[in-house]
Amino acid sequence: MILLFIVLGLAVLILVTNVKIVPQAHAYIIERFGGYNATWSVGLHIKVPFIDRIASKVSLKEHVVDFPPQPVITKDNVTMQIDTVVYYQITDPKLFTYGVERPMMAIENLTATTLRNIIGDLELDETLTSRDTVNTKMRAILDEATDPWGIKINRVELKNIMPPKEIQDAMERQMKAERERRESILRAEGEKKSAILLAEGEKESAILRAEAKKQAAIREAEGEAEAIVTVKTAVAEGIKRINEANPTEGYLTIKALESFEKAADGKATKIIVPSHIQELAGLVTSIKEIAKNE
Protein backbone atom coordinates (compact mmCIF):
# COMPACT_ATOMS: atom_id res chain seq x y z
CA MET A 1 0.00 0.00 0.00
CA ILE A 2 2.76 2.40 0.88
CA LEU A 3 4.45 1.70 -2.43
CA LEU A 4 1.18 2.32 -4.25
CA PHE A 5 0.77 5.71 -2.55
CA ILE A 6 4.32 6.58 -3.42
CA VAL A 7 3.75 5.68 -7.07
CA LEU A 8 0.51 7.66 -7.22
CA GLY A 9 2.17 10.63 -5.56
CA LEU A 10 5.02 10.57 -8.06
CA ALA A 11 2.54 10.31 -10.95
CA VAL A 12 0.56 13.32 -9.70
CA LEU A 13 3.76 15.29 -9.15
CA ILE A 14 5.01 14.47 -12.64
CA LEU A 15 1.65 15.42 -14.17
CA VAL A 16 1.52 18.72 -12.28
CA THR A 17 5.06 19.65 -13.21
CA ASN A 18 4.35 18.97 -16.89
CA VAL A 19 1.25 21.18 -17.05
CA LYS A 20 2.35 24.49 -18.59
CA ILE A 21 0.50 27.77 -19.11
CA VAL A 22 1.79 30.04 -21.87
CA PRO A 23 1.16 33.71 -20.97
CA GLN A 24 -0.08 36.42 -23.31
CA ALA A 25 2.35 37.65 -26.02
CA HIS A 26 4.62 34.64 -25.56
CA ALA A 27 5.34 31.40 -27.38
CA TYR A 28 7.11 28.19 -26.32
CA ILE A 29 9.17 26.04 -28.67
CA ILE A 30 8.76 22.31 -27.84
CA GLU A 31 11.31 19.69 -28.86
CA ARG A 32 10.73 15.93 -28.83
CA PHE A 33 13.75 13.67 -28.79
CA GLY A 34 15.94 16.64 -29.62
CA GLY A 35 13.98 17.76 -32.68
CA TYR A 36 11.39 20.47 -33.21
CA ASN A 37 7.90 19.25 -32.33
CA ALA A 38 5.50 22.19 -31.86
CA THR A 39 5.05 25.86 -31.00
CA TRP A 40 2.81 26.51 -28.04
CA SER A 41 0.75 29.66 -28.13
CA VAL A 42 -1.22 31.30 -25.30
CA GLY A 43 -3.13 28.85 -23.08
CA LEU A 44 -2.85 25.58 -21.13
CA HIS A 45 -0.57 22.81 -22.44
CA ILE A 46 0.63 19.42 -21.16
CA LYS A 47 4.15 18.27 -21.89
CA VAL A 48 4.94 14.58 -22.30
CA PRO A 49 7.29 13.71 -19.41
CA PHE A 50 10.86 12.70 -20.26
CA ILE A 51 10.13 13.03 -23.99
CA ASP A 52 9.24 16.67 -24.63
CA ARG A 53 11.19 19.65 -23.47
CA ILE A 54 10.76 23.43 -23.76
CA ALA A 55 13.60 24.51 -26.02
CA SER A 56 12.97 28.25 -25.72
CA LYS A 57 10.49 30.80 -24.45
CA VAL A 58 9.99 33.60 -26.96
CA SER A 59 8.46 37.00 -26.24
CA LEU A 60 6.33 38.34 -29.09
CA LYS A 61 6.34 41.93 -27.81
CA GLU A 62 8.16 44.70 -29.64
CA HIS A 63 11.75 45.01 -28.46
CA VAL A 64 13.98 48.07 -28.37
CA VAL A 65 17.75 47.70 -28.63
CA ASP A 66 20.13 50.64 -28.23
CA PHE A 67 23.42 49.76 -29.87
CA PRO A 68 26.62 51.60 -28.82
CA PRO A 69 28.21 54.20 -31.13
CA GLN A 70 29.86 52.83 -34.25
CA PRO A 71 32.74 54.56 -36.09
CA VAL A 72 31.80 55.36 -39.69
CA ILE A 73 33.58 57.26 -42.47
CA THR A 74 31.73 59.60 -44.81
CA LYS A 75 32.35 60.02 -48.53
CA ASP A 76 34.54 63.08 -47.85
CA ASN A 77 36.69 61.10 -45.35
CA VAL A 78 35.26 62.44 -42.09
CA THR A 79 35.19 59.89 -39.27
CA MET A 80 32.28 60.16 -36.88
CA GLN A 81 30.51 58.14 -34.22
CA ILE A 82 26.86 57.14 -34.75
CA ASP A 83 24.71 55.11 -32.38
CA THR A 84 21.45 53.53 -33.49
CA VAL A 85 18.22 52.35 -31.92
CA VAL A 86 16.44 49.36 -33.48
CA TYR A 87 12.79 48.46 -32.85
CA TYR A 88 12.06 44.84 -33.78
CA GLN A 89 9.45 42.14 -33.19
CA ILE A 90 9.60 38.36 -33.41
CA THR A 91 7.04 37.09 -35.90
CA ASP A 92 8.09 33.43 -36.16
CA PRO A 93 9.34 31.84 -32.91
CA LYS A 94 10.58 28.72 -34.73
CA LEU A 95 12.77 30.65 -37.16
CA PHE A 96 13.98 32.90 -34.34
CA THR A 97 15.03 29.82 -32.33
CA TYR A 98 16.71 27.86 -35.10
CA GLY A 99 17.50 30.56 -37.68
CA VAL A 100 20.60 32.20 -36.24
CA GLU A 101 22.90 31.82 -33.27
CA ARG A 102 22.75 34.76 -30.85
CA PRO A 103 20.25 36.89 -32.81
CA MET A 104 21.01 40.15 -30.98
CA MET A 105 24.68 40.02 -31.84
CA ALA A 106 23.76 39.23 -35.43
CA ILE A 107 21.42 42.25 -35.60
CA GLU A 108 24.05 44.52 -34.02
CA ASN A 109 26.74 43.51 -36.51
CA LEU A 110 24.32 43.75 -39.41
CA THR A 111 23.28 47.23 -38.27
CA ALA A 112 26.91 48.39 -38.02
CA THR A 113 27.87 47.13 -41.50
CA THR A 114 24.70 48.51 -43.09
CA LEU A 115 25.28 51.90 -41.44
CA ARG A 116 28.85 52.04 -42.72
CA ASN A 117 27.75 51.21 -46.27
CA ILE A 118 25.05 53.90 -46.32
CA ILE A 119 27.12 56.64 -44.68
CA GLY A 120 30.07 55.82 -46.96
CA ASP A 121 28.01 57.08 -49.91
CA LEU A 122 27.14 60.39 -48.22
CA GLU A 123 29.16 63.49 -47.47
CA LEU A 124 29.20 65.10 -44.03
CA ASP A 125 26.52 67.70 -44.76
CA GLU A 126 24.25 65.09 -46.34
CA THR A 127 24.70 62.81 -43.35
CA LEU A 128 23.68 65.54 -40.92
CA THR A 129 20.59 66.52 -42.94
CA SER A 130 19.43 63.10 -44.21
CA ARG A 131 18.52 61.21 -41.06
CA ASP A 132 15.10 60.21 -42.36
CA THR A 133 16.60 58.86 -45.57
CA VAL A 134 19.24 56.87 -43.68
CA ASN A 135 16.63 55.52 -41.26
CA THR A 136 14.39 54.37 -44.11
CA LYS A 137 17.22 52.65 -46.01
CA MET A 138 18.49 50.88 -42.90
CA ARG A 139 15.04 49.64 -41.93
CA ALA A 140 14.42 48.20 -45.40
CA ILE A 141 17.82 46.47 -45.55
CA LEU A 142 17.66 45.08 -42.00
CA ASP A 143 14.07 43.90 -42.39
CA GLU A 144 14.94 41.97 -45.53
CA ALA A 145 18.08 40.46 -43.96
CA THR A 146 16.36 39.38 -40.71
CA ASP A 147 13.27 37.91 -42.38
CA PRO A 148 14.79 34.37 -42.47
CA TRP A 149 15.36 34.71 -38.72
CA GLY A 150 11.68 35.27 -37.97
CA ILE A 151 12.36 38.94 -37.00
CA LYS A 152 10.60 42.00 -38.34
CA ILE A 153 12.40 45.36 -38.09
CA ASN A 154 9.76 48.02 -37.39
CA ARG A 155 11.92 51.13 -37.09
CA VAL A 156 15.55 52.21 -37.09
CA GLU A 157 16.59 55.57 -35.64
CA LEU A 158 19.95 57.33 -35.67
CA LYS A 159 20.15 58.41 -32.04
CA ASN A 160 23.30 60.56 -32.11
CA ILE A 161 25.66 61.73 -34.83
CA MET A 162 28.95 62.86 -33.29
CA PRO A 163 31.47 64.44 -35.70
CA PRO A 164 35.07 65.09 -34.58
CA LYS A 165 35.72 67.99 -32.21
CA GLU A 166 37.30 70.24 -34.86
CA ILE A 167 34.33 69.66 -37.18
CA GLN A 168 31.91 70.55 -34.38
CA ASP A 169 33.84 73.76 -33.67
CA ALA A 170 33.80 74.71 -37.36
CA MET A 171 30.06 73.99 -37.55
CA GLU A 172 29.42 76.13 -34.49
CA ARG A 173 31.38 79.03 -35.99
CA GLN A 174 29.50 78.63 -39.25
CA MET A 175 26.13 78.62 -37.48
CA LYS A 176 27.15 81.68 -35.46
CA ALA A 177 28.14 83.54 -38.62
CA GLU A 178 24.88 82.52 -40.27
CA ARG A 179 22.86 83.76 -37.29
CA GLU A 180 24.73 87.08 -37.33
CA ARG A 181 24.11 87.42 -41.09
CA ARG A 182 20.39 86.77 -40.63
CA GLU A 183 20.31 89.24 -37.76
CA SER A 184 21.94 91.92 -39.95
CA ILE A 185 19.47 91.23 -42.75
CA LEU A 186 16.51 91.42 -40.39
CA ARG A 187 17.81 94.65 -38.85
CA ALA A 188 18.33 96.21 -42.31
CA GLU A 189 14.86 95.11 -43.43
CA GLY A 190 13.38 96.58 -40.26
CA GLU A 191 15.12 99.91 -40.79
CA LYS A 192 14.02 99.93 -44.43
CA LYS A 193 10.39 99.26 -43.52
CA SER A 194 10.57 101.92 -40.80
CA ALA A 195 11.92 104.52 -43.27
CA ILE A 196 9.24 103.59 -45.80
CA LEU A 197 6.49 103.89 -43.22
CA LEU A 198 7.86 107.23 -42.02
CA ALA A 199 8.01 108.58 -45.60
CA GLU A 200 4.51 107.34 -46.32
CA GLY A 201 3.31 108.98 -43.11
CA GLU A 202 4.88 112.32 -44.06
CA LYS A 203 3.44 112.01 -47.57
CA GLU A 204 -0.06 111.31 -46.27
CA SER A 205 0.28 114.15 -43.77
CA ALA A 206 1.29 116.60 -46.53
CA ILE A 207 -1.60 115.41 -48.69
CA LEU A 208 -4.02 115.87 -45.80
CA ARG A 209 -2.68 119.37 -45.08
CA ALA A 210 -2.99 120.36 -48.74
CA GLU A 211 -6.49 118.88 -48.87
CA ALA A 212 -7.43 120.82 -45.74
CA LYS A 213 -6.12 124.09 -47.24
CA LYS A 214 -7.98 123.34 -50.44
CA GLN A 215 -11.22 122.68 -48.60
CA ALA A 216 -10.75 125.86 -46.51
CA ALA A 217 -10.16 127.96 -49.65
CA ILE A 218 -13.20 126.40 -51.31
CA ARG A 219 -15.36 127.07 -48.27
CA GLU A 220 -14.10 130.67 -48.05
CA ALA A 221 -14.76 131.28 -51.74
CA GLU A 222 -18.18 129.71 -51.44
CA GLY A 223 -18.91 131.99 -48.44
CA GLU A 224 -17.83 135.10 -50.32
CA ALA A 225 -19.86 134.07 -53.34
CA GLU A 226 -22.92 133.48 -51.17
CA ALA A 227 -22.39 136.91 -49.51
CA ILE A 228 -22.18 138.67 -52.90
CA VAL A 229 -25.26 136.82 -54.12
CA THR A 230 -27.12 137.79 -50.96
CA VAL A 231 -26.16 141.48 -51.30
CA LYS A 232 -27.06 141.56 -54.98
CA THR A 233 -30.32 139.80 -54.24
CA ALA A 234 -31.12 142.35 -51.54
CA VAL A 235 -30.31 145.27 -53.86
CA ALA A 236 -32.36 143.78 -56.63
CA GLU A 237 -35.23 143.20 -54.22
CA GLY A 238 -34.98 146.85 -53.06
CA ILE A 239 -34.99 148.15 -56.62
CA LYS A 240 -37.93 145.93 -57.40
CA ARG A 241 -39.93 147.30 -54.49
CA ILE A 242 -39.02 150.89 -55.36
CA ASN A 243 -40.17 150.33 -58.91
CA GLU A 244 -43.37 148.76 -57.66
CA ALA A 245 -43.98 151.87 -55.47
CA ASN A 246 -43.66 154.17 -58.59
CA PRO A 247 -41.46 156.86 -56.92
CA THR A 248 -41.48 160.48 -58.12
CA GLU A 249 -38.54 162.14 -59.83
CA GLY A 250 -37.98 164.31 -56.81
CA TYR A 251 -37.59 161.29 -54.54
CA LEU A 252 -35.09 159.76 -56.88
CA THR A 253 -33.16 163.05 -57.05
CA ILE A 254 -33.02 163.32 -53.28
CA LYS A 255 -31.74 159.73 -53.02
CA ALA A 256 -29.11 160.55 -55.60
CA LEU A 257 -28.00 163.54 -53.56
CA GLU A 258 -27.77 161.40 -50.44
CA SER A 259 -25.61 158.96 -52.34
CA PHE A 260 -23.28 161.76 -53.52
CA GLU A 261 -23.14 163.08 -49.97
CA LYS A 262 -21.86 159.69 -48.77
CA ALA A 263 -19.45 159.44 -51.70
CA ALA A 264 -17.99 162.88 -50.93
CA ASP A 265 -17.61 162.23 -47.21
CA GLY A 266 -14.07 163.58 -46.99
CA LYS A 267 -12.60 160.79 -49.07
CA ALA A 268 -13.34 161.61 -52.71
CA THR A 269 -11.10 164.21 -54.39
CA LYS A 270 -13.08 164.53 -57.58
CA ILE A 271 -16.78 163.86 -58.18
CA ILE A 272 -18.66 164.13 -61.48
CA VAL A 273 -22.26 165.27 -60.93
CA PRO A 274 -24.90 164.57 -63.59
CA SER A 275 -26.37 167.72 -65.28
CA HIS A 276 -29.92 167.24 -64.07
CA ILE A 277 -28.70 167.03 -60.50
CA GLN A 278 -26.62 170.19 -61.02
CA GLU A 279 -29.74 172.06 -62.23
CA LEU A 280 -31.67 170.82 -59.23
CA ALA A 281 -28.89 171.97 -56.93
CA GLY A 282 -28.91 175.43 -58.53
CA LEU A 283 -32.67 175.65 -58.12
CA VAL A 284 -32.38 174.80 -54.44
CA THR A 285 -29.72 177.51 -53.98
CA SER A 286 -31.94 180.15 -55.67
CA ILE A 287 -34.86 179.25 -53.45
CA LYS A 288 -32.64 179.62 -50.37
CA GLU A 289 -31.49 183.16 -51.53
CA ILE A 290 -35.10 184.33 -52.19
CA ALA A 291 -36.08 183.17 -48.79
CA LYS A 292 -33.26 185.16 -47.18
CA ASN A 293 -34.25 188.49 -49.06
CA GLU A 294 -37.82 188.26 -47.90
Q: Spell out the domain ranges in the chain.
A: 2-59, 62-163, 256-287
Mean pLDDT of 237-254: 65
CATH architecture of 62-163: 2-Layer Sandwich (3.30)
pLDDT for 181:
86
Mean pLDDT confidence for 285-292: 48
Query: From CA 82, how far away is CA 72, in angstroms rounded?
Result: 7
The distance in angstroms from the start CA to the end CA of the chain is 198
Nearest-10 crossing angle of helices 275-293, 249-263: 100
Beta bridge partners of 63: 88
What's the pLDDT band for 86 if we cut at 50, 70, 90?
A: very high
Q: Which of 54-63, 74-83, 188-197, 244-253 has the highest mean pLDDT?
A: 54-63
Q: What is the DSSP letter of 49?
A: T
Asked if residue 50 lies in contact with residue 79, where contact means CB atoms within 8 angstroms, the answer is no
pLDDT of residue 144: 93
Which pLDDT does position 231 carry in this prediction?
76
Q: What mean pLDDT comes out for the span 254-273?
A: 55
* Lowest-confidence pick of 101-110, 129-138, 154-163, 265-274: 265-274
Do 49 and 14 meet the contact criterion of CB atoms below 8 Å apart?
yes
Looking at residue 74, its amino acid is T
Residues 105, 93: Cα–Cα separation, whole Å: 17
How confident is the model over 193-206, as a mean pLDDT? 88
- pLDDT score at 147: 92
What does each C-alpha distance from 213 to 100, 112, 203 come to in angstroms? 96, 83, 15
Q: Render the burial of 196-227: b for 16+ CB within 10 Å, e for the rest.
A: eeeeeeeeeeeeeeeeeeeeeeeeeeeeeeee
195 exposure class (CB count in 10 Å sphere: 0-12, 13-18, 19+)? exposed
Residue whose C-alpha is closest to residue 18's, from 46, 56, 57: 46
For the entire predicted model, the pTM comes to 0.57
User: Per-residue pLDDT for 5 more than 50?
Assistant: yes
Can you give the pLDDT at residue 84? 93
